Amino acid sequence: MKKICMDECEKQGSLMDKNHVLSVRELNLAAKQLIEGGLPLLWVRGEISNFVSAASGHWYFSLKDEQAQVRCVMFRHKSQYLEFKPSNGMQVEVLALATLYEARGDFQLTLEKMRPAGLGALYEAFEHLKNKLEAEGLFDAGRKRDLPLLPKQIGIVTSPQAAALRDVLRTLANRMPNVPVLLYPTPVQGEGAAQKIAQAIRLASQRAECDVLIVCRGGGSIEDLWAFNEEVVARAIAASHIPVVSGVGHETDFTIADFVADLRAATPTAAAQAVVPDKQELRQRLAQHRQRLVRAVARRFEQGMQQVDFLQHRLVHPAQRIRQQGERLEALQQRMRFAHDHAMQRQQGRWSMLWHRLRGARPNLARLQEQQSNLARRLNGAMLQTLDRHDARLTALRQHLQLLDPKQVLARGYSMVRDVQGNIVVSSDSLELGEKLDITFAQGGVHAVVQEKHEPNSD
């Protein structure tokens, strides 16, 4: 990091030097850094001209007013989220970063967002409410409900004078004319329209007269469709107990109601097509299911006939089965008789062998008694010899112990000297003058104090 800062300082210093000759790339790079560092992200308003949509999905155009123009680029990862398609002559407001394309030295704006001019406040309110409801989970796919396959009654929330109502009714009549339709009339534009739309949705949910509810109106400007961007309508759709289909505006129009509804249809006609199946398609599907059912029954019948043939080949006449079982029983009896005879012969042979072994193992009692008498005599003699040997050894040990007895040594005139700790004193080197000693004689003892020491080798 320190090296990079030093390099930047050196570059700035070299640019400030009037004698330094810059390359074109260095000049463009310096201008790029000055522009991007000096201008923040900002909103710019103007008219679109020379609009080009590249195959890559990037948009290139010029933004101009009466006195100037500037090149603009909006890359695909930003433009794909735009809810309208820009065109030449359209007045727009763009949120962009001023930059310089150094390869050609072109000053341009790199766009982050775009909105029609004059509708900035509405779009900001739209985005704010959209982000709020999305954070609450009202747009989650998990809370959206499936539409009934064959609704018994369909509810419509729209204006009775709306062209969208005629389109919806005509589509429903063409696709499924026998399904009744219930209209919840409400204005879809103007002051107070949002509250009345929400009230109609809540009324339909409370009455529960319909299996599915269509909320629709025709196309128009963002101001015309704004009632469907109000929070009160979004809350009413989210709280509805009936699945709601939103068919507001044209294909390119998106409202908050579209995101909250269980299904968003591109147009009111598409909403009508979504809630009921086409009777012709149903007939075709029924015919297909009938053909599949007939083929399945035929296959099952054929499989049953094959299974009957197979079982018929396996079926045996009862007399033949009894004869087979009798032959098998006779064979088993012969095998059992042979096994029994063989087992008896083998057992008799084993008993005979054990009898001979038992007779051979019978003991000679007279010889065993004589051996027992001899062993008793030998045991008595050995015991006497052992006792004599141990008595002699005990006498020798007693005499040896008497010789080692310290009292015998003391009886010959010797004495035993201990210090105050009870240790035997064998040398005067370990004694100090005035130290107390304990002297033991053959009979009795005395306590003494060292008054004089002699060297061990002195006379």
Query: What pLDDT, in 10s, does the model give residues 313-370?
Result: 777 677 778 888 888 888 998 899 889 888 898 888 888 888 888 877 777 777 888 8
3-state SS record for the chain: CHHHHHHHHHHHHHHHCCCCCCCHHHHHHHHHHHHHHHCCCEEEEEEEEEEEECCCCCEEEEEECCCCEEEEEECHHHHCCCCCCCCCCCEEEEEEEEEEECCCCEEEEEEEEEEECCCHHHHHHHHHHHHHHHHHCCCCHHHCCCCCCCCCCEEEEECCCCHHHHHHHHHHHHHCCCCCEEEEECCCCCCCHHHHHHHHHHHHHHHCCCCEEEEEECCCCCCCCHHHHCHHHHHHHHHCCCCEEEEECCCCCCCHHHHHCCEECCCHHHHHHHHCCCHHHHHHHHHHHHHHHHHHHHHHHHHHHHHHHHHHHHCCCHHHHHHHHHHHHHHHHHHHHHHHHHHHHHHHHHHHHHHHHHHHCCCCHHHHHHHHHHHHHHHHHHHHHHHHHHHHHHHHHHHHHHHHCHHHHHHCCCCEEEECCCCECCCHHHCCCCCEEEEECCCCEEEEECCCCCCCCCC
pLDDT at 168: 93
Residues 109 and 182 in one domain: no
Q: Are residues 188 and 259 in the same domain?
A: yes
Report the pLDDT value the prediction gives residue 181, as an integer from 0 to 100. Answer: 94
What pTM did the predictor assign? 0.44
User: Do both 54 and 111 map to the same domain?
Assistant: yes
Which CATH number does the domain housing residue 216 bear? 3.40.50.2300
Both 258 and 147 in a single domain?
yes
Domain match, 291 and 233 both: no
Q: For residue 14, what pLDDT is reported? A: 52
Domain count, the chain: 4
pLDDT for 235: 94
Q: Is residue 78 part of a domain?
A: yes
Give residue 433's pLDDT. Answer: 83
pLDDT of 182 reads 94
pLDDT for res 196: 94
Token pair for 147: 């539409």
d(Cα 143, Cα 110) in Å, to the nearest integer? Answer: 38
Low-confidence ranges of the chain (pLDDT < 50): 1-6, 8-9
Q: Would residue 132 count as lying in a domain?
A: no
Residue 119 contacts by C-beta under 8 Å, 6 or more apart in sequence?
222
In a domain, 30, yes or no: yes
Q: Do 273 and 285 reside in the same domain of the chain?
A: no
Q: For residue 31, what is the domain's CATH number? A: 2.40.50.140
Q: Is residue 269 part of a domain?
A: yes
In a domain? residue 217: yes
Distance CA 304, CA 311 (A): 10
Q: Is residue 365 part of a domain?
A: no
Q: Which amino acid is at 223?
A: E
Angle at 29 between CA 27 and CA 33, to 5 degrees: 120
Does residue 341 belong to any structural domain of this protein?
A: no
Q: Where is the domain boundary, 118, 151, 170?
A: 118
What residues make up the domain containing 288? 281-312
Shared domain for 234 and 144, answered yes or no, is yes
| Residues 42, 106 within the same domain | yes
Q: Are residues 273 and 152 in the same domain?
A: yes
Q: What is the pLDDT of residue 149?
A: 86
CA distance 342 to 346: 6
| Per-residue pLDDT, 119 | 59
> Which pLDDT belongs to residue 51?
93
Taking the alpha carbons of 160, 197, 227, 251 in that order, is the dihedral positive or negative? negative
Q: Are residues 286 and 270 in the same domain?
A: no
Query: Does residue 173 share a domain with residue 100?
Result: no
The token pair at 91 is: 């007045």
Q: Is 68 domain-assigned?
A: yes
Tell me, yes or no, whether 110 and 239 share the same domain.
no
What per-residue confidence (pLDDT) applies to 447?
A: 84
- 291, 312, 333 - which closes a domain: 312
